Amino acid sequence: MIPAKFDYVKPSSVEEAVQALQQGGDDAKIIAGGQSLLPVLRLRLAAPSLLVDLGGIAELRGIRDEGDRVVVGAMTTYYDIIRDEAVQQHVALLGQATETVADSQVRHRGTLGGSLAHADPAGDLGAVALALDAEMDIVGPSGRRTVPASEFFVDYFTTALGEGDILTAIRFPKYTGWGSHYEKFNRTAQAWSMVAIAAAVRVEGGTIAEARVGLTNMGATPIRARGVEEALVGQPATAEAVRAAAERVTEGTAAPSDADAAADYREHLAKVLTGRAVLAAAG
Amino acid sequence: MTTTAEPTTHGEIGRPRVRKEDERLITGRSRYTDSITPAGTLYISVVRSTFAHARINGIDTSAAKQAPGVVGVYTAADLGVESIGLPCAWPITPDQKAPQRPLLASSTVHFAGEGVAVVVARSAGEARDAADLVDVDYEPLEPVLDMEAALAEGATLVHPDLGTNASATWVFDSGEAGTGGSVADAIAAAESDPDSVVVRRRFRQQRLIPAFMEPRSVVVDPTGEQITFYSATQIPHILRTMTSVVLGVPESKLRVIAPDVGGGFGGKIGVIPEEMLCVVLAQKLGKPIKWTETRSESMLAAHHGRDQIQDITITAKKDGTITGLDVKLLADMGAYLGLVGPGVPILGAFMFNAIYKIPAYRFACTNVFTTKTLTDAYRGAGRPEATFAIERIMDELAVELGRDPLELREQNWIKHDEFPYTTVAGLTYDSGNYEQATQQAMELFDYAGLRREQEERRRSGDPVQLGIGISTFTEMCGLAPSRVLGSLSYGAGGWEAASIRMLATGKVEVITGASPHGQGHETAFSQIVADQLGVPFEDVEILHGDTQIAPKGLDTYGSRSLAVGGIAIVNAAQKVIAKAKKLAAHMLEADENDIEFSNGTFSVRGTDKGKSIQEIAFAAFMAHDLPEGMEPSLDADAVYDPENFSFPHGTHLAAIEVDTETGRVRLRKYVCVDDVGNVINPLIVEGQVHGGLAQGIAQALFEEANYDEQGTLVNATFVDYTLPSPADLPSFDTRVVSTPATSNPLGVKGVGEAGTIASTPAIVNGVIDAVRHLGVTDIEMPCTPQRVWRAIQEAKGRSTQETPVDTHSPGAGLGSIDPNNPQGEVQ
Amino acid sequence: MAQVRVTVDGVEYVDDVEPRMLLVYYLRERLGKTGTVIGCDTSNCGACTVHLNGQSVKSCSVLAVQADGAEITTIEGLARDGELHPVQKAFNECHALQCGYCTPGMIMQAVDLLADNPDPDEQAVREGLEGNLCRCTGYQNIVRAVQSAARAMKPGATAPVDTPTPVAGGQ
């Protein structure tokens, strides 16, 4: 199917892009990798009047090691994230979750920034950003600001990005030496997550010293499973202890119901998968 | 391009020839309908109802007409087509209720996705833009979604003028037909006999979407003397005839072409509103008209498949001998009757008894209208449904009797020395060897070893349980003897046509009325002709899919191309040889009775004198010296009408792992041994089996067209309608054995539907087998993780109840087996 | 209208296109590259896969304008100097296609997969092709073809691509 008509600009700097968005007003929309947006446009579920393509802004691409942070440019593709050494070494969970996103072709085009800004609760990377306390660099009409992931996700497909705002980079604290695992449950390999668990743990002498757990598709936004994290700390990394902690995973969730999974089933899955994710992360 | 370096002139049948048709397809030289765009082409977009059931109070096309690039916007009234109805070729009963199926709905829409207006524009994008501007005033009516509710007193009627939502009820009773006893008697006897059991089950065949990869597309070019009509169809010949019937265009003024067609699986058997609209608009505007559907349009508006409720009763002696089988079906037709839709469940009527000796059988099917997309043929058409029901209930009967399910099947099946065997449904199976296929399958599968592993996992309470799924099957292929179709009131014959043209240069053109869409006809038919005529495989060209080139044919469905179309080719070849023999005798100055034909050479018996078929073809072309009265041509036509169906069969075994914590099903191992008769090309046979398995497995595990309470199809994209990807399926271990069909000279049976038919019950039986010890007795298809998990939860809850008899068969309520007491009393 | 300058299968093109024109329509309708086909609206089926600057993409999910300045290879540009690409050969020899509609995308994705992983095991092939749907083959022969092509493409490989050894025998 062919999208409805729109205008198109491809600015070469963030400032130009912000300007273009402001001029475009309400109906302007950013296109990053376009892997979520183009199907939506093709199905005519949205009809923006202007697309502002960030593909021409070189500074939005690439991954930098900034000492205690790994900074991922918003327009960095999944493909590049998966293969990045700094990601593999310090933010392994991001790479692991990114590998499960969609399929190879989509990962060649899709970007981390695009995915986070789209904020589909079934998207895989919001839970990772949340679990790992990432920070979002945003440039907008009123200048630059940084928003923690915990404040970034607001509602279904809604983030802290305002009109004219552009997500430029995602800053991840380093989790060097942590174990991590992204446990994804879906109907078919290319389907969106029915439920997925992002888990990272630091194990010291068989005991879980720190834990981070994020949940995909257990509510209107990605959710941080703080109850599970609390329950894990100080516990031995055994199946029994981890499963017991995983029981708290549904705290604060609002699991959706659809044809594939009613809320109670999602809640059950979240418990089972949290146990599996944490155990796999703990190695 | 081929792996075989040397052209071969004999021994072609049975060779794993790589396909002739591949080269164009792997290099992008394909020619699918959407790739055809005559100069001046205009594009249409159909405005579709968003309601399942609604009165149309008005259609405002004024804004759309003003949109850029628009040539016209039309309702049915604007086109004057309100009284035109699309054909249903299969009135299964004389009193079948058949509503008019319009090209565009005029006063009422009957399913979400039905067309109400059509836009013609200079580009596809502009057509779609304008379609969005057509404003339809709908007054919503109650949707009709549930078949049983639709048949209840006072139900909302889909078509009030018909007075009922029941289209027709078709009954076969072996007692009345004289092919067996009375099932009513058998059930009554079993119920009163302490040494017999009665097992009743309800199964659901969910609604499926054929999901051929190439969306449907139509191009109608009215310039020139004939209207040239391209369509991504399985049935160019039937389409031509039906277009004449529907629109009154003389058949001789229509040239229908099915170019490369990207899959069909029954989904492209149909005469569809968009095809007729393109013809009407092309005639009206004098310009080529093109329609290519989007995927979501295809999911909504192209016909669906399956969708039956099956109430099955089987009776048996406690020693395992089956005494009767009763089948009551409800089949959802959707909003209208498709081309052969009403007959699809009837094709299953002859197959519920399957490979078994069943003394009494009754089948009754009521076709029901609902406000959903219409249903029609989908790979297997009626036969997968039948096979599923019998193979599922054989497992249930085995549990009931405490028997090994394979052993119980063997006890009841037709033995290899009992062929030909006339079944309780009145068909005569010509050949088969169920023992052989089953034996091989069990060995390949390591049946005993897997049973041991299953036992071990059960004992240890492993969270991952193992199930063994079994299905045997047979099917009636090679549709069909015309007299049988006549007796079923089908609106056409079942013959197929072929022609062979011997060209002056020794090349051979073969024309077939079969119309491939991925099966490999060009390769397999070339092998047959190369063997028959003794010409090189490479010298044979197979022509098809264009009514001007292949004027006569009944197209491709029901595994008929080889078993019917292939025989027509053999017969045409025999005629060519007979003509050539006369000419050879003349050229060799010998008596025709002394001429032998072998490997492409006519020779005089007992001499070294001979002429090649190419030399004879050249001599016929030159025509300088022909026998008295012989016309200068070796060419021949043949039309073959089969005497009988063919009956492939096979045994399929699946090892299924069920993660009891999540409900996730993993297919670990799949073995099948199929008897498809003689094999022309083992590579193609294997490919057909693989693809069939994938589709059958997809029904068992992945696919279902879901409607919400408003009657909207909720999974109308590939995002939600979960087709399995390469990462969702394993490799299969497929083998063939062969007992040649005795009903045709090639001994072939047909392979197109085999994998689909047998795999669905094998998988579901395996899933249930994995968790039956937990108390699960049924899981509806598709066996999604959620459904499997819920079944386990419900069984757990149930096993704590004191009297679980009412609840142990989800969806059935008819009950027979107490999961806590499988050897116990039967209700 | 926006201008795009692209190199497709080795030929440079400059065209004015509507911004909404998807790359796949540009290839098919402007350039006549109808070998690349469209199977869905939602970037699930992969039939439209082409290479964009050396990486596989679904050309239904890229705007033609986004491809400005890019080098694109389609199924029609894969064979070089009349010689089929080893993946194309393997698809033929392993009977990895039936109706052929998914084939251009499957082949283009398989080529990309082998560029990233020259020696994939069965699971790696299956996962590498997870974005490509086929309704005919059940995928088994596609997997076989990709692995067979991998062997043929190994540096120093002289042996032809596997001749078919069907499991299904004549008897």
Examine residue B480 and say whether the peptide bond preceding it is cis (omega within 30 degrees of 0).
yes
- Torsion angle of the four alpha carbons B355, B356, B359, B362, in this order, in degrees rounded to the nearest 10: -60
Q: How far is CA C130 from the centre of its chain?
A: 13
Chain A residue with minimum CA distance to B706: A259
Contact B561, B521 (CB under 8 A): yes
pLDDT at B798: 63
C-beta neighbour count of A204 within 10 angstroms: 9
Contacts of B723 in chain C (CB under 8 A): 44, 133, 135
> Nearest Cα to A193, choosing from A91, A269, A253, A117?
A269
Closest partner residue to C56 (CB to CB) among A38, A104, A189 is: A104
Chain A residue with minimum CA distance to B128: A2
What is the DSSP pairing of strand B108-109 with strand B54-60?
antiparallel
Tokens of B485: 């179709």
> Nearest Cα to C170, choosing from B43, B13, B487, B280?
B13
Contact B713, B112 (CB under 8 A): yes
What is the DSSP pairing of strand B42-48 with strand B289-292?
parallel
What is the DSSP pairing of strand A7-9 with strand B421-422?
unpaired
Residue C158's pLDDT band (cuts 50, 70, 90): low
pLDDT at B810: 28
- Torsion angle of the four alpha carbons B91, B96, B97, B99, in this order, in degrees rounded to the nearest 10: 0
pLDDT digit string (tens) for C3-48? 999 999 999 999 999 999 999 999 999 999 999 999 999 999 999 9
> Nearest Cα to A181, choosing from A142, A237, A220?
A237
Count Cβ atoms within 10 A of the Cβ of residue A49 and give its class: 0-12 exposed, 13-18 middle, 19 or more buried.
Answer: middle
- Torsion angle of the four alpha carbons B537, B540, B544, B546, in this order, in degrees rounded to the nearest 10: 150
pLDDT at B634: 98
Residue C156's pLDDT band (cuts 50, 70, 90): confident
Q: Give the DSSP H/E element, type plus range, for residue B331.
A: strand B322-334
- Torsion angle of the four alpha carbons B772, B777, B783, B787, in this order, in degrees rounded to the nearest 10: -100
Contacts of B785 in chain A (CB under 8 A): 185, 187, 194, 261
pLDDT at B753: 87
Q: What are phi and psi of B379, to 5 degrees?
A: -15, 110
Inter-chain CB proximity A38 and C62 less than 8 Å: yes
What is the DSSP pairing of strand B595-598 with strand B733-737?
unpaired
* Three-state secondary structure readout of B169-227: EEEEEHHHHCCCECHHHHHHHHHCCCCEEEEEEEEEEEEECCCCCCCCEEEEECCCCCE
Fill in the amino acid letter for B202: R
SS3 percent helix, strand, coil of chain A, rounded to 5, is: 40, 25, 35
Residue C162 has pLDDT above 90, yes or no: no
Contact C110, C141 (CB under 8 A): no
Look at the alpha carbons of A139, A142, A145, A149 in this order and tell me if their dihedral is positive or negative.
Answer: negative
Examine residue B420 and say whether the peptide bond preceding it is cis (omega within 30 degrees of 0).
yes
- % of chain A at pLDDT higher than 90: 98
* Inter-chain CB pairs, A–C, below 8 Å: 91
Rounded Cα gap, residues A179 and A163, in angstroms: 38
Tokens of A4: 């409805």
Q: Locate tokens 């990807």: which residue?
A: B725
Rounded Cα gap, residues B103 and B83, in angstroms: 9
Q: What angle do CA B728, B730, B731 make, to 5 degrees?
A: 145
C90 touches chain B (CB under 8 A): no
A17: β partners:
none
pLDDT at B803: 36
Q: What are phi and psi of A184, to 5 degrees?
A: -110, 135
> Nearest Cα to A21, choosing from A141, A101, A117?
A141
Q: Locate tokens 């600015």: which residue?
A: A11
Rounded Cα gap, residues B143 and B165, in angstroms: 12
Q: Give the DSSP H/E element, type plus range, for residue B657.
A: strand B649-659
Block means of pLDDT (10 residues each) for chain B, 827 residues, are 43 95 97 98 98 98 98 98 96 97 98 98 97 98 98 98 98 98 98 98 98 98 97 98 97 98 96 98 98 97 98 98 98 98 96 98 98 97 97 98 97 98 97 97 97 98 98 93 93 95 97 94 97 97 97 91 95 98 97 96 95 97 96 97 95 98 98 96 97 98 97 95 97 96 94 93 98 97 98 82 33 28 33
What is the DSSP pairing of strand C49-52 with strand C71-73?
antiparallel
Where helices occur in chain C by DSSP H, the ranges are: 23-25, 86-93, 103-116, 122-128, 140-153
Rounded Cα gap, residues A15 and B200, in angstroms: 72
The alpha carbon of residue C142 is apart from the nearest alpha carbon of chain B, in Å, by: 9
Cβ within 8 Å of residue B170, ≥6 positions away: B92, B93, B345, B346, B349, B363, B364, B365, B367
Contact B303, B340 (CB under 8 A): no
Contacts of A42 in chain C (CB under 8 A): 22, 41-42, 60
C-beta neighbour count of B627 within 10 angstroms: 12
> Nearest Cα to B612, choosing from B595, B599, B621?
B599
**Subunits with 3+ C-beta pairs closer than 8 A to C:** A, B
pLDDT at B797: 87
Tokens of A173: 């604290």
Fill in the amino acid letter for C120: P
Question: In the 8-state DSSP scheme, what is residue B94?
Answer: T
**Cα diameter, chain A:** 60
* Inter-chain CB pairs, B–C, below 8 Å: 218
Three-state DSSP at B451 gives helix
Rounded Cα gap, residues B447 and B467, in angstroms: 11
**Subunits with 3+ C-beta pairs closer than 8 A to A:** B, C
pLDDT at A62: 98
pLDDT at B10: 61
ipTM summary value = 0.97
Where helices occur in B714-784 by DSSP H, the ranges are: 754-771
C-beta neighbour count of C96 within 10 angstroms: 30
The alpha carbon of residue C114 is apart from the nearest alpha carbon of chain A, in Å, by: 12
pLDDT digit string (tens) for A201-211? 999 999 999 99
Contact residues, C window 112-151, toward A, CB-based 8 Å cutoff: 112-113, 127-128, 130-132
Strand order from edge to edge, sheet including B54-60: B108-109, B54-60, B135-140
Helical axes B434-445 vs B405-412, angle rounded to 10°: 170
Where helices occur in B423-562 by DSSP H, the ranges are: 434-445, 447-460, 482-487, 521-533
Mean pLDDT computed over every residue of chain A: 97
Please measure the distance between the N-terminal and C-terminal CA atoms of chain B and give it in whole angstroms.
Answer: 65
Tokens of C44: 């699930």
Three-state DSSP at B147 gives helix
The alpha carbon of residue C69 is apart from the nearest alpha carbon of chain B, in Å, by: 24
Question: In the 8-state DSSP scheme, what is residue B157?
Answer: P
Interface mutation target, options B786, B790, B793, chain A, most CBs of A under 10 Å: B786
The alpha carbon of residue B703 is apart from the nearest alpha carbon of chain A, in Å, by: 10
Rounded Cα gap, residues B355 and B477, in angstroms: 14
